[in-house]
Every structure is written in C-alpha cells, then in structure tokens.
Amino acid sequence: GLPARVRIHEVGARDGLQNEKSTVPTEVKAEFVRRLADAGLTTIEATSFVHPKWVPQLADAEQLFPLVADLPGVHLPVLVPNERGLDRALALGVRRIAVFASATESFAKANLNRTVDEALAMFAPVVEKARAHGLHVRGYLSMCFGDPWEGAVPVHQVVRVCKALMDMGCDELSLGDTIGVATPGHVQSLLAELNEEGVPTSALGVHFHDTYGQALANTLAALQHGVTTVDASAGGLGGCPYAKSATGNLATEDLVWMLQGLGIDTGVDLGRLTATSVWMAGQLGRPSPSRTVKALSHQ
C-alpha cells in the first residue's frame, strides 16, 4: 500500500541554488525560503556551511540564516561537512544539520577531497557533537545508483556506507541518485537490501534527479516500499557542482501533482508553490524545467 502522508524535504534553496552561476542576492534567497514556507513546506533546507571557495553561491550562509530562522513551524536544516561547519551553524542557532557522504570513491574525492572512509571519519565527531547539542542529523548519501566516473554502483557498497552513517548516530538518511540514472527496480533492490541489513525504512528518505525522466517512477517505487520522506526542489532547480552530469532535482511541483492524484497528503498548496517557482525563474532569468510548473503557469 501507499502512505497516507508524505513529508517533503525541500532542497531548492540549497541543492537548487548551489550550482547557480549568477550570484543570487541574499534577500532573494530569504524571500524564496519564506515563500516556500508560505506554500506549506515544513522542511526547507536553507544553505550549507561549507568552504566558501568550494560553493561560492552559498558563501552568504551567515547572512541568510538569521533572515529566515524565525519562520514558525518550519525546520531549516543546513549542510555541514566538518567541525568548522558545525561550529558556524551552532553559532547561529541551527537545529538540524546534514552531513553528506558518498557511496563512491570518485565522488568522495571530487566533493569532499577525501576517500569514502576519510569522509566518514570527518563526519563522526560532527554527528556526535551535533547530537550532544540536541540537533537532528540527516546523513546524505550520494551516488547510490550510478556514478559519472565509476558507472553502476553495487548495492552492497551503498549499504555499507548507509550502515556506517546510521551507526554514527544519524537520525535519517537520504539516498541520493545524484546523476539521475536509477530505475524503479534498482530502487526496490536497494531498499530491500537495506531492510534486510536492519536499516529501518522509517529512517530513509529518497533524493532523485530527473536526468532520464525516472524521478517520479522511482519515487512511487520507494513509496510502495514504505518510504515517507521525499526530497524535491521547487521548480526542479539545481544539480551538484561536483557531479558534472547531474541535472535537475525532482521538481517539488511534479511530486506534489503525483501525490495529490494518489490522495497522499503533503500540506503543500500547489498554486502557491508554482507561483513561487515562477517568481524564482524570473529572478534567475530562465523558465523552470518542471512540467507541472509549465502546465500550471502556461509558461
């Protein structure tokens, strides 16, 4: 069966904007986050406390976070790679963080300048300290299905890193199809193997990219398996600066359209959300790639 309710983890302001070439003004980002909240999204990833040279677009994290921190009833997780990042986040009163691991060596090197295990070793004290401060910790795992340098990624390789992140103390995981090559059978295989290895489905979220048009099919496969947390990006914004072939994330509007049709509650007002993505497209100077945004706004 399918769940009655799905929690959408909105990544547009972080994953969506991190790759943007032109500098998006901090006030525009804050307005984006506020509008997403107004559209009914309750988990809105705000920014990253990473090295500013690695992700220049999010170098204004210190300025942005206080502008949105007081939104009522909204969780505002941020990405944190190391203790330096955690300290920056703690200084601003952040309550939810995400570390971001890789299932493959190539991407760990490109994204974190570390091997897979060195990256895990970097995260361990971060997760421990975050939990000691009562923070909620998400563990992202990139390249769960395919990798631009290594090709198909074996399920057991993904499961190993998932277990390491759970053992470390992550509250939830997000399984990333960073380059969008997954298909529903592959999704079901990974989820089944994680189940078998004792990783609870309730702790799993899915993070699909729509490169091959499979993001919604993959999402449905995950929902059928019991997953109730789905990552999406308003208007389909984004990719990843350290994964060349990554195109847009699953658009939140496309996801909400499907879930509404299935009678699954998300709390999101699709009209307001679409208006937000149309407004953001205007700020960025190009139309949203989301089919649902196009259909509903007659772009």
User: Of 15 and 60, which has the nearer Cβ to ligand HMG?
Assistant: 15
Which partner in Mg ion, ligand HMG, none is near 85 (CB below 5 to 8 A by kind)? ligand HMG
CA distance 83 to 79: 12
Distance of closest approach, residue 109 Cβ to ligand HMG, in angstroms: 10
What is the DSSP annotation of 23-54? PPPHHHHHHHHHHHHHTT--EE--EE-S-TTT
**Contact (Cβ atoms closer than 8 angstroms) between residue 243 and residue 110:** yes
Which partner in ligand HMG, Mg ion, none is near 129 (CB below 5 to 8 A by kind)? none
Q: Is 162 annotated in the active site?
A: no
Which residues, including other chains, have CB under 8 Å from residue 10's CB and lie 6 or more apart? 36, 41, 43, 44, 45, 231, 232, 233, 234, 252
Interface with ligand HMG (CB under 6 A), residue from 33, 46, 50, 255: 50
User: Among all residues, whose Cβ is closest to ligand HMG?
Assistant: 176
CA distance 44 to 231: 10
**Across the chain, which distance is largest between two alpha carbons, in Å?**
49
Burial grade of 104 (CB within 10 A; 0-12, 13-18, 19 or more) = buried
Binding mask 217-256 for Mg ion (x = CB under 5 A): --------------------------------x-------
User: Of 154 and 271, which has the nearer Cβ to ligand HMG?
Assistant: 154
CA distance 108 to 159: 16
- Footprint (CB under 6 A) of ligand HMG, residues 210-229: none
Which partner in ligand HMG, Mg ion, none is near 274 (CB below 5 to 8 A by kind)? none
Distance of closest approach, residue 170 Cβ to Mg ion, in angstroms: 18
User: Of 106 and 297, which has the nearer Cβ to Mg ion?
Assistant: 106
Interface with ligand HMG (CB under 6 A), residue from 112, 194, 199, 223: 112
The pair of three-digit structure tokens given for residue 247, joined into one six-digit string = 């195109």
Which partner in ligand HMG, Mg ion, none is near 219 (CB below 5 to 8 A by kind)? none
- The DSSP call for residue 287 is -
List Cα–Cα distances, 132 to 90, 136, 169, 175, in angstroms: 12, 10, 11, 25
102 beta partners: 142
Give, for 231, the enclosing helix (H) or strand (E): strand 229-232
Binding mask 173-202 for ligand HMG (x = CB under 6 A): ---x-x------------------------
Q: How many residues bind ligand HMG (CB under 6 A)?
A: 25
The pair of three-digit structure tokens given for residue 246, joined into one six-digit string = 């990554």
Interface with ligand HMG (CB under 6 A), residue from 51, 129, 136, 160: 51
Torsion of CA 173, 214, 191, 113, to 10 degrees: -40
- Footprint (CB under 6 A) of ligand HMG, residues 131-150: 140, 142
Q: Is 232 helix (H, G, I), strand (E, B) or coil?
A: strand
Known catalytic residues?
240
Residue numbers of the site for Mg ion (CB under 5 A)?
15, 249
Residue numbers of the site for ligand HMG (CB under 6 A)?
15, 18, 48-51, 54-55, 79, 81-82, 84-85, 88, 100, 111-113, 140, 142, 176, 178, 207, 240, 242
